[in-house]
C-alpha cells in the first residue's frame, strides 16, 4: 500500500503548471499531487503519440479531485501566445515533463525530437521568464544523456554527457538550455535525471506492458543483448509513484537558489537485467516466458546496453524509495492484467 510520504507535514497551497499531464509520467504526478497536496494543477497538453485524457478519467479518485485540474491545449513547438498565457493564469511552480521519448522514433526522425524537446523547452522557458519569473522551474530529464555506462560505473549528476541517440541528445540540449536560462535570467531551476519508469497506464510500446502482452499471447519476447547474445541489457527500473514522491520531495523539501540549476538523480532500488525482468513478469502473470536473445545494439546503433545513475545525492538529502521494486512490479502486472482490454491495445 502506497501511503502518505513521511516528509510531508504542512504544504502551502500552490497553483502549478505541468506539461504533458495526459502522458504516462505526467498523470501519475497529478494523481500523487491530488492525494498528498491541495495544489491546483494546470495541465498543458498536445495530446498526440501517447497522451490521452483517458488516463485522468481512469484514476480511481478522478471524480473527487477533478475540480483541481485545468487542461490547456497547446503544442510547445509554438510560442505560448497571449491566449494560452491568459488561460494558464498565475502559477507558482512549473514542472516540464512533456517530451518525445521513444528511442526508435528518434532514430527514424531526429528533427522531430529536436523540435519537441529542445525548441519546446525553450518556448516554455521563455514563457516562464516573461510571465512567471518568480515560479520555481523543474525540468524532467533522463539517464540517457550520459550515454552507456560501463560495468561498475554509475554516473553522478554533473558527469559529462555522451548521448547515444537523438532522443538523448535532445534531452541533453534541453537541459543545457535550462542551465543557460538559470545563469542568464536568474531563474529558480532544478533538473532531474530519472531511469526507466514503469507503472499503470503505460503505452504498450514500452518494455513491461509489451512483455505482458507477448506472454499472454504466447509470443516470443526479444531480449536485447551484447553481440555474444549472453549479456542482456540492464537498467534501474523505478515505478512512477516513486518518481512522483521524489518530485514532491524536491519541490517541497529542497531549497533552490535563483541563478543555480541544481541537478538530482532519481534512481531505482536495484539494477535488473531485462531477462530477469521478463522472467519476473512471467512469474506474476503465471504463464511461461518464451524469449530469444537479440544483438539489437550492433544492428541498430543508438540502443545502449546499460544505463546507470548514482543516487547518493538524493539519499543524503533524506529521500528514500517508498515502495520496493518487486512490490511495484507485481502491483503493475496485476493491474495491467485486470485492465488489459483497455491498456494493452490487443
Which residue numbers are catalytic?
143-144, 167
User: Which residue, 85, 242, 244, 111, is CA-closest to 169?
Assistant: 111
Across 225-308, the runs of DSSP E, i.e. the strands, are 234-235, 238-239, 261-266, 272-273, 291-294
Residue 254 CB coordination number (10 Å): 14
State how far the alpha carbon of 164 is from the alpha carbons of 153, 157, 337, in Å.
Answer: 16, 17, 34
Cα 257 off chain centre by = 24
Q: How far is CA 110 from CA 36, 177, 293, in A?
A: 38, 18, 28
- Going by C-beta distance under 8 Å and a sequence separation of 6 or more, which residues neighbour residue 1? none
Instruction: Give the residue from 123, 261, 136, 132 showing the smallest Cα distance to 192.
Output: 261
Residues 110 and 36 sit within 8 Å (Cβ to Cβ): no
Question: Residue 60 has which C-alpha cell?
Answer: 480511481
Q: What is the DSSP string of 90-117?
A: --SEEEE------HHHHHH-HHHHIIII
Query: What separation in angstroms does the CA of 299 have from each of 224, 296, 302, 303?
Result: 11, 5, 10, 10
Amino acid at each position: 500500500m502506497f501511503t502518505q510520504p513521511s516528509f510531508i507535514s504542512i504544504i502551502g497551497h500552490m497553483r502549478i503548471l505541468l506539461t504533458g499531464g495526459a502522458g504516462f509520467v505526467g498523470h501519475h504526478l497529478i494523481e500523487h499531487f491530488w492525494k498528498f497536496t491541495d495544489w491546483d494543477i494546470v495541465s498543458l497538453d498536445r495530446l498526440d503519440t501517447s497522451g490521452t485524457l483517458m488516463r485522468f478519467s481512469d484514476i480511481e479518485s478522478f471524480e473527487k479531485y477533478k475540480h483541481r485540474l485545468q487542461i490547456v491545449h497547446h503544442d510547445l513547438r509554438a510560442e505560448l501566445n497571449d491566449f494560452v498565457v491568459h488561460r494558464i493564469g498565475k502559477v507558482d511552480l512549473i514542472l516540464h515533463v512533456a517530451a518525445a521519448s521513444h528511442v526508435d522514433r528518434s532514430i527514424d526522425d531526429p528533427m522531430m525530437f529536436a523540435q519537441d524537446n529542445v525548441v519546446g523547452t525553450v518556448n516554455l522557458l521563455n514563457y516562464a521568464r516573461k510571465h512567471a519569473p518568480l515560479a520555481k522551474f523543474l525540468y524532467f530529464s533522463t539517464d540517457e544523456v550520459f550515454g552507456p555506462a560501463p560495468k561498475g560505473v554509475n554516473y553522478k549528476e554533473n558527469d559529462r554527457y555522451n548521448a547515444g541517440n537523438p532522443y538523448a541528445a535532445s534531452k541533453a540540449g534541453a537541459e543545457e538550455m535550462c542551465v543557460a536560462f538559470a545563469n542568464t535570467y536568474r531563474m529558480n531551476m532544478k533538473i532531474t535525471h530519472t531511469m526507466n519508469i514503469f507503472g499503470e497506464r503505460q503505452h504498450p510500446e514500452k518494455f513491461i506492458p509489451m512483455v505482458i502482452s507477448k506472454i499472454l499471447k504466447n509470443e516470443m519476447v526479444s531480449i536485447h543483448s551484447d553481440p555474444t547474445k549472453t549479456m542482456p541489457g540492464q537498467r534501474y527500473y523505478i515505478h512512477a509513484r516513486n518518481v512522483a514522491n521524489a518530485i514532491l520531495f524536491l519541490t517541497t523539501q529542497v531549497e533552490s537558489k535563483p541563478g543555480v540549476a541544481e541537478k538530482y538523480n532519481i534512481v531505482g532500488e536495484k539494477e535488473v537485467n531485462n531477462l530477469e525482468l521478463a522472467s519476473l513478469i512471467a512469474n506474476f502473470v503465471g504463464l511461461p516466458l518464451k524469449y530469444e536473445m537479440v544483438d539489437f545494439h550492433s544492428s541498430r546503433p543508438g540502443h545502449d546496453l546499460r544505463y546507470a545513475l548514482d543516487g547518493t545525492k538524493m539519499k543524503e538529502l533524506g529521500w528514500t524509495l517508498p515502495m520496493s521494486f518487486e512490490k511495484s512490479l507485481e502491483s503493475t502486472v496485476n493491474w495491467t492484467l485486470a485492465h488489459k482490454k483497455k491498456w494493452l491495445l490487443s
